[in-house]
């Protein structure tokens, strides 16, 4: 009887954890950005999600490409490959919020942003510098 209760308790805990895993899992993976053939991989980073640049035209031309467009001159020597462009994403179902978001193409950092799952193959990624200064891009899932 105790063994049955232990198994039941374990299944209940597993069931409670599953929705959180499936919510985050819906945006995990690789996404193509509209700028320079970029590919960002969204993955777990501790308690939140993050997105790292894994491919882009400049990286195919020079795998050691640096973050030369960064507005902060002290950061221009860091490698583009693996650079966190989305940070501290939390939420689920269809909307995740976080920040900062970084655009290596412009060198600009948005303090906050939103990632919205439009459908299983499309994300609307919006970064905001100020409440009214926002830009949205559509990213497509890489299969």
pLDDT computed for residue 108 by the predictor: 93
Domain that holds residue 32: 2-141
Most confident of 8-12, 14-18, 31-35: 31-35
* Range 33-48 average pLDDT: 95
pLDDT at 110: 94
Q: SS3 for 30?
A: strand
pLDDT tens digits, 41-92: 999 999 999 999 999 999 999 999 999 999 999 999 999 999 999 999 999 8
What letter would DSSP give residue 73?
Answer: G
Alpha carbons 110 and 127: distance in angstroms, whole number? 5
- Virtual torsion, Cα 94, 46, 127, 77, nearest 10 deg: -150
CA distance 78 to 5: 53
CATH of the domain at 99: 2.40.128.520
pLDDT at 13: 32
What pLDDT score does 14 carry? 32
Domain count, the chain: 1
């Amino acid at each position: 009887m105790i063994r049955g209760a232990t198994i039941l308790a374990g299944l209940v805990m597993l069931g409670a954890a599953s929705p959180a895993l499936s919510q985050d899992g819906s945006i995990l993976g690789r996404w193509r950005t509209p700028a320079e053939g970029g590919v960002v991989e969204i993955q777990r980073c501790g308690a939140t999600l993050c997105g790292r640049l894994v491919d882009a035209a400049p990286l195919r031309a020079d795998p050691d490409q640096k973050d030369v467009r960064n507005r902060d001159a002290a950061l221009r020597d860091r490698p583009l490959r693996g650079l966190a462009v989305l940070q501290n994403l939390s939420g689920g179902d269809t909307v995740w919020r976080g920040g900062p978001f970084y655009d290596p193409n412009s060198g600009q950092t948005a303090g906050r942003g939103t990632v919205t799952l439009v459908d299983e193959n499309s994300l609307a990624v919006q970064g905001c510098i100020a409440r009214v200064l926002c830009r949205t891009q559509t990213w497509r899932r890489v299969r």
